[in-house]
Amino acid sequence: MVEIQAGWVKVPNGALQIDSYLAEPKGEGVFPAVIVIQEIFGVNSHIRDVTERIAKEGYVAIAPAIYQRTAPGFEVGYSQEETILGRKYKDLTKADELLSDIQAAITYLQAKPNVNENAIGSIGFCFGGHVVYLAATLPAIKATASFYGGGIATMTPGGGPPTITHTQDIQGTIYLFFGVQDSLIPNDQADQIEAELQKHGIPHKVFRYFAGHGFFCDQRADYNPDAAADAWEQVKQLFQRELRGELG
């Protein structure tokens, strides 16, 4: 584990200033970078914790607020009322704006002297798991970890053909993590996504755990420590291999 520093920064995207939580190793060096995409609950304490955990592994990590356009500063917990509110803002997002904001985060990272501009990955959870599948089509993204991303096979933010139809445009390697007890993502949808990745020859792995939705988050009722621990090891291997060129 490396020593880190963390805090809020602004990522410019034209006139929009995106509140973003940045965590990075202290001291000299050039590091790979990872973009962290939130659940529907904002860049809350769980997402900030994940961002810091990634930085402690030796990456520059940033979590841009993907609700910046409609709900600046939005951050809630996991109650039923907060879930309803988070879904309301999720339904206001649009794929082209999300991609634009993530590209802005990429540009921000690539301008930092401590970032290897050719070694950028992403990780997302819940709605963020869907968003990073979409963002895997951006040329700069070399590795993607998508956790229980709902709706990939059935919709895209803002409307239009479902995100799965963009599978052939994925640029790098993608790992997907699902819970077979997830009531929000039928198992046949996970199978459909895997089949599409295979069809187009996209480098990928799909991990299925005997767990429910949100199993990686220790603040959620479905938290599964065994599944979370295994998934974290898989994520570390993905980023080491694709962003650091380690493990062969």
- 148-201 residue pLDDT tens: 999 999 999 999 999 999 999 999 999 999 999 999 999 999 999 999 999 999
- Catalytic: which of 46, 130, 213, 222? 213
Separation CA 100–CA 233 (nearest Å):
30
Q: What is the mean pLDDT of residues 69-90?
A: 96
CA distance 138 to 166: 11
- Say whether pLDDT at 122 is over 70: yes
Q: How far, in Å, are 13, 151, 163, 198, 245 from residue 16 at the CA level? A: 5, 27, 25, 38, 35
217 is annotated as an active-site residue = no
Using DSSP's 3-state secondary structure scheme, residue 2 falls into coil
* Whether residue 114 has pLDDT greater than 70: yes
Can you tell me the mean pLDDT for 75-100?
A: 97
* pLDDT, tens digit (0-9, with 9 covering 90-100), for 49-65: 999 999 999 999 999 99
Q: Judge whether residue 109 has pLDDT over 80.
A: yes
Which token pair is 7?
């805090």
pLDDT of residue 123: 98
pLDDT at position 147, please?
Answer: 98
In the annotation, is 222 catalytic? no
233: closest CA among 149, 175, 191? 175
The active-site residue out of 182, 204, 217, 222 is 182
Which of 46, 126, 130, 222 is labelled catalytic? 126
pTM of the model: 0.98
